[in-house]
Chains A and B, each alone.
Chain A
């Protein structure tokens, strides 16, 4: 079969005026399919070089084993009935996703210096599918860290919720968080266009996102101005949902529906924005 629109006479594409439900569904189906193809592309690359997955697991292990073990003995941070280590384990999971995702955009700068991006953009793939597919793959990369964190946390005595539904929801939260922050990273890459500037801004962004969140201390401890930042920070909602889902005694401060809506909404906005900026990298 030849590609569609192949033999269409000039001007035949004026059919795009008001999309009917069927057309909308077809477009949505194509969007989902293409997103998965782009994610597949990234996962296949990962499969050829799995060392990355192991080296990346070191950092969260250090946070749990060193920082967590020390702070759980100080009892300095009010975490209610939860031991501090239990409190921070979901925070470290969210942090690992953030750290993987926030530097993900640099891959686009590499690809741009070759011709990979050019060829993807010339293909009939929606730009938003290119962006979301890459974002999804950042989440998939983070899954290996999630596994390590779960195992370590269980070994350290954190009471984990092993309910399969809760595990599936954590999986979804990791993918969503990865998509959200890697898309933010992609936007930065599209704007700055060089490795050096990108690394600078990445470093600049990581720590404020991490510390102005509830990852390693509750928002209630913060001064008012920092609290405002924490509430505007998508990471706060990711941590909140992970805390509710990962721990046997975990509760959500904002409610899971709120968490998923905020993180999902932020991802949609970022993906649309990145979809507009992405073609600029080849100009």
Chain B
């Protein structure tokens, strides 16, 4: 297995406040890697640094073999990204959303049509491809966004809370499609969540973040075995390592944004 993602003491401060603190993790090719933690643990900031949206304050990281600061352009070509908030354009049809991104990612004209049709079929949206996305359900929007970020067959796909605001059935559909795409293209998946059962079910490995630090990093089974409690759940693992379940982190503005997005998704 080859190393696809590697961070070295990756750190980010905002106005002197440390949000991500010396993060050092590695992810191998084909893994489904989960970043777990309560709101404000630094998950989104980590994803933003790894996707070149935010420069780190110190430390370094390589994604698909490229340095996220010095080779940001190469990193962008090698990754796909599904932000936490809605990123498909509601004023366009599903097909148009895919078409624009096929063009932005330089997918050759001859292949565009077949790739888009294949993607639509795979996520089960062929029938509604010509409908405006603002008429889609939350689960459909998420699936479209995943297809959009997979069109150029990235080596690493980053998803920030991919199932946030979705009901259990839509959540399952999103994961089914995600794993299908992963199996087909061998994409490495890195995602954040605060749902323990989701991490338990789908991660090959996970890192628990708390207060900007990684407090535990292993396979779900190894983590459960590591605490001295028979039949431990990941929730208990989390409490063991993080010492708490909930934490205030988001400010008013961020909360308002998330609720708005959740309302539109739900």
Interface status of B16 (Cβ within 8 A of chain A): no
Q: Is the CB of A8 within 8 A of B84?
A: no
Categorize the interface residue count of chain B: 35 or more
Residues from chain A with a CB closer than 8 A to the CB of B79 are 122
Q: Is the CB of A118 within 8 A of B83?
A: yes
Interface members, chain B 89-119 (any A CB < 8 Å):
89, 91-93, 96, 100-101, 103-106, 108, 111
Q: Is the CB of A13 within 8 A of B73?
A: yes
Known interface pairs A41-B100, A123-B105, A283-B53; A8-B92 also in contact (CB < 8 Å): no
Categorize the interface residue count of chain A: 35 or more
Q: Is the CB of B111 within 8 A of A1?
A: yes
Cβ contacts A264-283/B at 8 Å (1 or 0 each)? 00000000000000010011
Q: Is the CB of B87 within 8 A of A123?
A: no
- Give the docked Cα–Cα distance between A114 and B155 (Å): 25
Interface status of B261 (Cβ within 8 A of chain A): yes
- Give the docked Cα–Cα distance between A283 and B48 (Å): 8
Interface status of B153 (Cβ within 8 A of chain A): yes
- Give the docked Cα–Cα distance between A257 and B188 (Å): 54
By secondary structure, the A interface counts as: helix
The stretch among A42-50, A89-97, A216-224 that forms the contact with chain B is: A42-50
Known interface pairs A10-B66, A124-B77; A49-B91 also in contact (CB < 8 Å): yes
Q: Is the CB of B48 within 8 A of A37?
A: no
Chain A nearest CB, measured from B43 CB (Å): 15
Interface status of A2 (Cβ within 8 A of chain B): yes
Interface status of A169 (Cβ within 8 A of chain B): no
Q: Is the CB of A123 within 8 A of B76?
A: yes
Q: Is the CB of B53 within 8 A of A121?
A: yes
Cβ 8 A contact of A119, one of B73, B87, B106: B87
Known interface pairs A34-B104, A44-B92, A114-B85; A122-B77 also in contact (CB < 8 Å): no
A-B contact pairs, 9 of them (CB 8 A): A6-B78, A10-B71, A13-B73, A30-B106, A118-B83, A119-B81, A122-B76, A123-B101, A124-B105
Write the residues of chain B forming the contact surface with A, with a CB cutoff of 8 angstroms: 48, 51-54, 62, 65-67, 71, 73-74, 76-79, 81-87, 89, 91-93, 96, 100-101, 103-106, 108, 111, 132, 148-149, 152-153, 155, 257, 260-261
Write the residues of chain A forming the contact surface with B, with a CB cutoff of 8 angstroms: 1-6, 8-10, 13, 30, 33-34, 37-38, 40-41, 44-45, 48-49, 113-116, 118-125, 279, 282-283
